[in-house]
């Protein structure tokens, strides 16, 4: 699959995406990739011919797939990482809901310069029972634990709360503190999936607590549907 310039609801600090495949066995009810033809659950299309990744880019690798989900073949993961290493003048972003498996590939991540590989996970709520109704991904405390281990290993990390769902803001803030990411992204459901969502006051409590703990917060534009960004 080709290298693409970012558009739509992508993080504004990313310049390009390299899809590498489509589909994911986590089967999240709100996943936008499901609307893409050929994205059956558990189906992956790892490219044989890999694009020229160039230089001076920040590339989200696998934005339409969870590269580190359990059903992914280790040979495909290693092939993607090796290709990234051929272009050492870029920064690479890897986001997964299974950071435990990603942790096993830290030694294979591009590391030609400090912060070259930026590792992230998603935690939509502290409520594991609620998340289990919408996703087959690992439960939130495990995601926090393992992305924290990636940070402890010396990598720049981020934690994304998107789509933010009904939560106890104090408990969710405690998960973020345990993960200790370099920064936190917060966004809302932008695909009308009728998810249970927090109130504006609950979001405000969460943001206030995270700022009090020294975290940099990046609010995505889609959050304005349920929270005043000003």
Q: What is the pLDDT of residues 78-91, one digit of tens each?
A: 999 999 999 999 99
Q: What is the pLDDT of residues 182-210, one digit of tens each?
A: 999 999 998 889 999 999 999 999 999 99
CB 92 within 8 A of CB 112: no
- Range of 49's domain? 4-225
For residue 15, what are the contacts with CB-CB under 8 A and spacing of at least 6? 5, 6, 57, 58, 59
* CA dihedral sign, ordered 94, 7, 126, 43: negative
CB 161 within 8 A of CB 193: no
Cα→Cα distances 205→71, 112, 199, Å: 37, 39, 10
Q: With a cut of 80, say whether residue 99 has pLDDT above it.
A: yes
Specify the pLDDT at position 134. Answer: 96
Give the CATH number, domain containing residue 202.
Answer: 3.20.20.70
Residue 178 located in a structural domain: yes
Q: Is the pTM of this model over 0.75?
A: yes
Q: With a cut of 90, say whether residue 152 has pLDDT above it.
A: yes
- Looking at the 3D structure of the chain, how many domains does it have? 1
Residue 230 located in a structural domain: no
Q: With a cut of 70, say whether residue 178 has pLDDT above it.
A: yes
């Amino acid at each position: 699959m080709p290298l693409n310039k970012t558009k739509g609801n992508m993080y504004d600090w990313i310049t390009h995406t390299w899809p590498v495949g489509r589909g994911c066995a986590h089967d999240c009810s709100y996943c936008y990739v499901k609307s893409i033809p050929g994205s059956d659950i558990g189906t992956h299309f790892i490219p044989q011919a890999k694009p020229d990744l160039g230089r001076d880019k920040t590339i989200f690798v696998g934005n339409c797939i969870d590269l580190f989900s359990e059903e992914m073949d280790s040979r495909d993961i290693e092939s993607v990482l090796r290709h990234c290493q051929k272009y050492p003048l870029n920064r690479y972003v890897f986001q997964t809901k299974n950071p435990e498996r990603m942790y096993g590939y830290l030694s294979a991540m591009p590391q030609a310069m400090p912060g070259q590989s930026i590792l992230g996970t998603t935690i939509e709520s502290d409520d594991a029972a609620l998340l289990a109704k919408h996703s087959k991904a690992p439960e939130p405390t495990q995601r926090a634990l393992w992305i924290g281990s990636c940070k402890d290993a010396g990598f720049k990390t981020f934690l994304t709360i998107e789509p933010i769902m009904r939560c106890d803001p104090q408990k969710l803030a405690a998960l973020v503190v345990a993960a200790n990411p370099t920064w936190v992204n917060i966004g809302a459901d932008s695909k009308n999936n009728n998810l249970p969502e927090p109130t504006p006051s609950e979001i405000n409590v969460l943001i206030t607590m995270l700022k009090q703990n020294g975290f940099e917060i990046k609010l995505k534009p889609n959050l304005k549907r349920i929270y005043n960004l000003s």
